[in-house]
Structure formats: structure tokens, C-alpha cells
């Protein structure tokens, strides 16, 4: 299962000429997910904010980029599918 450490070590392909996702927006969502997963893994630590839910990840939308740096959309979408699966597993055990 995906862990908070996996979130911190994930790297996406950067695209410049094809449409990508705004990197700062993706990074912000992943930081919120990392904090949430860390809270599930070690319930005694304080989260950096409210828990991020699987539903929020599914509904997340990112500003598209073209002719400037952005994360490759397929890479992000595939990884977010794994994130949703991990969050749903943790949410089911609450």
C-alpha cells in the first residue's frame, strides 16, 4: 500500500510542449495527502491540517499548462489512482 514516504519520493515527468498539470497545484495536493497518510500511519502525530479524503482527490482539478513546464498528466493521474485507493483503505478502517 502507498505510504506517506512514497508521496515524498514521487517524481513526475515534466513536459513543456504538451499539455501538463500546474506543478505547484499538484505538489500542494500531494503534500496534503502526505500529511493525511502520515496521520493514518502514526495516529499520535499531529497533521499539518485537516485530513484529505479520497473524494477530494478524485474531484481535484489542476490548471493545464502548455508551452511551459508542467507535470505529465498521465503520470499524475495514474499516481492519484493509487492515492485514492490508499485513502479509501484507511478511511474504511476508521
Per-residue buried b or exposed e for 37-62, using 16+ beta carbons within 10 Å of the residue's own CB? bbbbeeeeeebeeebbbbebbeebeb
pLDDT tens for 78-87 read 999 999 999 9
| Model confidence, pTM | 0.91
pLDDT tens for 31-64 read 999 999 998 988 776 556 678 999 999 999 999 9
Amino acid at each position: 500500500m502507498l505510504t506517506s514516504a512514497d508521496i515524498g519520493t514521487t517524481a513526475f515527468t515534466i513536459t513543456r510542449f504538451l499539455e501538463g498539470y500546474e506543478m505547484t497545484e499538484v505538489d500542494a495536493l500531494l503534500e496534503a495527502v502526505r500529511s493525511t497518510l502520515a496521520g493514518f500511519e502514526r495516529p499520535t502525530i499531529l497533521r499539518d491540517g485537516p485530513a484529505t479524503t479520497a473524494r477530494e482527490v478524485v474531484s481535484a482539478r489542476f490548471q493545464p499548462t502548455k508551452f511551459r513546464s508542467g507535470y505529465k498528466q498521465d503520470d499524475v493521474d495514474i499516481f492519484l489512482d493509487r492515492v485514492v485507493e490508499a485513502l479509501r483503505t484507511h478511511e474504511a478502517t476508521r
